[in-house]
Amino acid sequence: MKKAFIPLIATIGIALGVIIGNFYAKRDVQEQLVSTFSDIIKSNDKLTDVVNIIEKFYVDTVVADSLVEQVIPEIIAQLDPHSAYIPAKDLQMVNEELSGSFFGIGVQFNLQNDTVYIINVIPGGPSEKVGLLAGDRIVTVNDSLFVGKKITNEKVISTLRGDNNTKIKLGIVRRGSEDITQYTVTRGEVPINSIDISYMITTNVGYVSVNKFGETTYKEFLNALTSLRRQGANSLIIDLRGNVGGYLGAAVDMLNEFLAKGDLIVYIQGAHQKRVDSYADGTGSFQNMKLAVLIDEFSGSASEIFAGAIQDNDRGVIVGRRSFGKGLVQKPIRLKDKSEIRLTVAKYYTPSGRSIQKPYSKGNIADYEMDLINRFNHGEFYSRDSIKENTSEVYHTKGGRIVYGGGGIMPDFFVPSDTVGATKYFTSIANKGITYRFALNYTDRNRAELKHYKTLNELQSYLERQNLYPQIVKFAEQNGIIGKEVERAKSKKHIERQTIAYIIRNILDEKGFYPYINQTDMAVKKALSEL
């Protein structure tokens, strides 16, 4: 009997030994890990500690830098809608938008049927020097095929831009030929203009469209105003619609041209930022010129500072629709790897004391980004009565007029969004870019004829005689848009004018485009009547 229990006792003994051994072995490992973790967790930076632990002990291989790149934007997003993290690889392109120039080949392009289509060649630029023309198609880059659905706007930009004096080999197909002709273009400096157009809209009223506030904007603006005054302008329309902002300094310098000495332009203030005021110094050359400023729901930041300063100083009239409501000041902070945090450090305030910034909830960017859609659905773009003004925030202009806070700049004269010709048919055509694409095709087919017309009046007169609408309708049908006959009739003038505007732009650039569309622009007409 005793012998029979010997194997059982031995088995139990072995099992207990294994269990006890594992226990102490596991405890040893845990103690070793605790000791190792203690060595790592030395800083007061919890994020660094967590990343280090993951990198050293996670079951799979993890690249710490990749983790950080994903985590930082999430942290920044919890602050406010405009603080941002810009990776090093994107920083140059982001900065170029406001720098006034970049290095590239000097063309404007559009992706048409998965092919890069050159819309315009910048005069004096690298591409013009080698003989590239509007209408050319880029099909190869450095002997590699450069067409297809994988070719995006971002990829085209990053490919065509590069360092100064570097070369790029382009395979070009020109209309009327199936052969590929090779051109080697040496990249050079390409200007980024802040002023779309400046021209005399009447015998005594000048018009200037400003698309951003960048490094060269003030100089461009000053040159434009000087030229307009020489042509007889004593009044000015400044179009800031769609201008999302840029550098505060540019806006302040431009406003200084119009305001009297001692007029407050803007001030900034934050929890860790003492109030800083900007005043006009009285040296402005256009202090007596009458002003009308155009804004809409896409006018933000520096555009709102500009409009707010003009309004609060009773210096001119503001025409259009309520502006975006972006009044947060970002400070750029460069990190060691050449990435950048743009951290909100203060708020902008207009001279009367209004905060430009519309309300937001921290960490809830989705709701903030839905604001314009909500404003549209509420009818704000079509009726001033639909706008919810915060009448509890009452402020006064220099002359004593009441203005309200709560975000954005409310125009003195409201102009609703144009609904003439608005139908489901027009919406479908707009969503598929039919008018734009038709204009490109039409220009390409008829470029030789169209180039004979050197002025807007000549080209407009010619295009209006061409009965384009049936051709546009047919093009829309080929792209799956039929529409009801009553809708096609209602939208006819609107669609036709839009198409003609794009064709004019393809031939005469902005110098033809803006004077043409301004003929029927209700905000421009209202500004003219007030001036």
Torsion of CA 125, 126, 127, 131, to 10 degrees: 100
In a domain, 85, yes or no: no
Residue appearing with tokens 């790029």: 168
Average pLDDT, the chain: 88
**What is the sign, positive or negative, of the torsion defined by CA atoms of 306, 311, 313, 316?**
positive
Q: Write down the pLDDT at residue 4.
A: 47
- Is residue 390 very low, low, confident or very high in pLDDT (cuts 50, 70, 90)? confident
Q: Which of 306, 315, 286, 169 is nearest to 240 (CA)?
A: 306
d(CA 434, CA 290): 40
CATH of the domain at 266: 3.90.226.10
Q: Choose one of 191, 215, 249: the last residue of a domain.
A: 191
The answer to whether residues 112 and 175 belong to one domain is yes
Judging by beta carbons within 10 Å of its beta carbon (0-12, 13-18, 19+), is residue 116 exposed, middle or buried? buried
**Number of domains comprising the chain:** 4
The answer to whether residues 271 and 354 belong to one domain is yes
Torsion of CA 301, 307, 313, 315, to 10 degrees: 150
Two structure tokens written together for 446: 């008829």
- Is residue 290 very low, low, confident or very high in pLDDT (cuts 50, 70, 90)? very high
Q: Choose one of 357, 385, 414: the last residue of a domain.
A: 414
Two structure tokens written together for 203: 């015998």
Query: What is the residue range of 343's domain?
Result: 195-414
Q: What is the pTM of this model?
A: 0.85
- Is residue 68 very low, low, confident or very high in pLDDT (cuts 50, 70, 90)? confident
The 10 Å CB-count burial string (b at 16+, else e) for 435-469 is bbbbbbebbbeeeeebeebeebeebbebbeeeebb
The answer to whether residues 35 and 128 belong to one domain is no
- Is residue 40 very low, low, confident or very high in pLDDT (cuts 50, 70, 90)? low
Q: Write down the pLDDT at residue 2.
A: 46
Q: Any idea what DSSP says for residue 367?
A: H
In a domain, 5, yes or no: no
Q: Write down the pLDDT at residue 325.
A: 92
d(CA 198, CA 293): 14
d(CA 175, CA 261): 58
Span 296-319, average pLDDT: 97
The one-letter amino acid code at 132 reads L
Q: Choose one of 175, 191, 207: the last residue of a domain.
A: 191
CATH of the domain at 145: 2.30.42.10
Instruction: Tell me the per-residue pLDDT of 412-458, one tens digit each, with 9 for 90 and over.
Output: 999 998 877 789 999 899 888 899 999 999 998 999 999 999 999 99
The answer to whether residues 259 and 384 belong to one domain is yes
Torsion of CA 97, 103, 107, 109, to 10 degrees: -50
Instruction: Tell me the per-residue pLDDT of 141-157, one tens digit each, with 9 for 90 and over.
Output: 999 999 998 899 889 99
SS3 call for 341: strand
The answer to whether residues 326 and 306 belong to one domain is yes
Region of residue 479 (left: phi > 0; alpha: psi -120 to 50; beta: else): alpha
Judging by beta carbons within 10 Å of its beta carbon (0-12, 13-18, 19+), is residue 113 exposed, middle or buried? exposed
Query: Percent of the chain, pLDDT > 90?
Result: 61
Q: Are strands 84-86 and 340-349 parallel, antiparallel or unpaired?
A: antiparallel
d(CA 310, CA 290): 11
